[in-house]
């Protein structure tokens, strides 16, 4: 259980910092996601070294996408991301030593989309006109609670492997416990605003989507690490890996949250 305690000791201070930046919004939140994005790109480039990703193009794509999300919204974020393709093509075309373009440019675009869009949608959520602080807080708390209680439930009750080839430590029992807690957190977080914002069934659907997509995000990163034969994306957090190991669920859950809320008619 000491590993669980260590996870909480690392996650709780990080959650406080993220919640604080999310509450302030604007350039505070941008600074946080930009730093996380830069570290995440660094970790990906090192992890995917056999594919020879073009680091400058990835940095440019992520940073400009985040800036576009802050200053112009969804369309500007997409436009910023497209710089990744242009810069990657130029770097590959004029390099003295050219790695295979498909692997090099493909891994570059993958990193920019995965990290840039994932973090960019957190910025977009904070720019929403309807309760932006509340929806970002709900996203963060649901992901944190679901992950924590999935680990706890798996340690206590876990018997059946959820995805043995991708992440042997995850169990169906832990997944169920984490999902139920995550949905409950979404219900509680949004309950007070049920008459003016998301009604109860919408809050429950949002909670369900977040927990399901968060698990997919975690497994996606596990798939990449297994494919590239690395245990962790970095060592910044000691035994807990790198930044990407901590935000992998958010990188999928933030876009899902944004589009679910938009689908419910809130901007």
Burial grade of 82 (CB within 10 A; 0-12, 13-18, 19 or more): middle
Distance CA 150, CA 215 (A): 10
Does pLDDT of 236 surpass 90?
A: no
Pick the more confident residue, 6 or 232: 232
User: Per-residue pLDDT tens for 242-267?
Assistant: 999 999 999 999 999 999 999 999 98
pLDDT for res 7: 63
CB 265 within 8 A of CB 137: no
Kind and range of the H or E element at 58? helix 55-71
Distance CA 41, CA 58 (A): 7
Does pLDDT of 184 surpass 80?
A: yes
Handedness of CA 16, 149, 208, 162 (dihedral sign): positive
Does pLDDT of 77 surpass 90?
A: yes
DSSP designation for 171 = E
User: Per-residue pLDDT tens for 81-100?
Assistant: 999 999 999 999 888 777 88
**Cβ count within 10 A of residue 49:** 12
Does pLDDT of 5 surpass 80?
A: no
**Averaged pLDDT for residues 184-207:** 97
pLDDT for res 238: 64
pLDDT for res 240: 66
Residue carrying structure tokens 């030593």: 97
**Averaged pLDDT for residues 190-207:** 96
Confidence band of 56 (pLDDT split at 50, 70, 90): very high
Pick the more confident residue, 100 or 138: 138
Confidence band of 134 (pLDDT split at 50, 70, 90): very high
DSSP E strand boundaries for 38-88 = none
Pick the more confident residue, 83 or 8: 83
pLDDT for res 94: 87
pLDDT for res 97: 76
**Averaged pLDDT for residues 123-150:** 95
Q: Which of 12-16, 104-108, 154-158 has the lowest mean pLDDT?
A: 12-16
Average pLDDT, the chain: 93
**Averaged pLDDT for residues 34-59:** 96
pLDDT for res 2: 55
**Averaged pLDDT for residues 213-236:** 92
Pick the more confident residue, 9 or 63: 63
Kind and range of the H or E element at 167? strand 167-171
171: β partners? 161
Per-residue DSSP letters for 76-143?
Answer: HHHHHHHHHHHHHHHHHHH-SS---HHHHHHHHHHHIIIIIIHHHHHHHHHT-SSSHHHHHHHHHHHH
Cα–Cα distances in Å, from 97 out to 60, 93, 139, 253? 21, 10, 44, 38
pLDDT for res 8: 65
User: Per-residue pLDDT tens for 112-121?
Assistant: 999 999 999 9
184-213 in b/e form (b: 16+ CB < 10 A) is bbbbebbeeeeeebbeeebbbbbbbbbbbb
Contacts 24+ apart (CB under 8 A), 196-200: 197/130, 197/131, 197/134, 197/266, 198/261, 198/264, 198/266
Residue carrying structure tokens 């570290």: 39
């Amino acid at each position: 259980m000491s590993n669980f305690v260590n996870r909480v000791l690392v996650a709780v201070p990080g959650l406080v910092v993220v919640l604080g930046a999310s509450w302030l919004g604007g350039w505070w939140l941008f600074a946080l996601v930009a730093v996380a994005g830069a570290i995440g790109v660094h970790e990906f480039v090192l992890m995917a070294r056999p594919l020879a990703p073009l680091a400058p193009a990835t940095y440019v794509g992520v940073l400009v996408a985040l800036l576009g999300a802050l200053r112009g919204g969804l369309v500007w974020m997409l436009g910023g991301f497209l710089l990744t393709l242009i810069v990657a093509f130029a770097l590959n075309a004029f390099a003295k030593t050219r790695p295979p373009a498909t692997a090099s440019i493909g891994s570059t675009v993958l990193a920019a989309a995965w990290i840039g869009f994932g973090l960019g949608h957190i910025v977009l959520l904070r720019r929403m006109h309807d309760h932006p602080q509340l929806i970002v807080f709900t996203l963060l708390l649901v992901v944190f609670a679901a992950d924590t209680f999935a680990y706890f439930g798996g340690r206590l009750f876990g018997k059946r492997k959820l995805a043995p080839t991708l992440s042997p430590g995850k169990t169906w029992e832990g997944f169920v416990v984490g999902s139920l807690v995550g949905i409950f957190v979404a219900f509680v977080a949004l309950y007070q605003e049920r008459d003016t914002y998301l009604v109860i069934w919408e809050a429950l659907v949002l909670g369900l989507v977040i927990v399901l997509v968060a698990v997919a995000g975690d497994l996606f990163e596990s798939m990449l690490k297994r494919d590239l034969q690395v245990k962790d994306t970095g060592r910044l957090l000691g035994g807990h890996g790198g930044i990407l190991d901590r935000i992998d669920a958010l990188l999928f859950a933030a876009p899902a949250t944004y589009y679910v809320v938009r689908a419910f008619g809130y901007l």
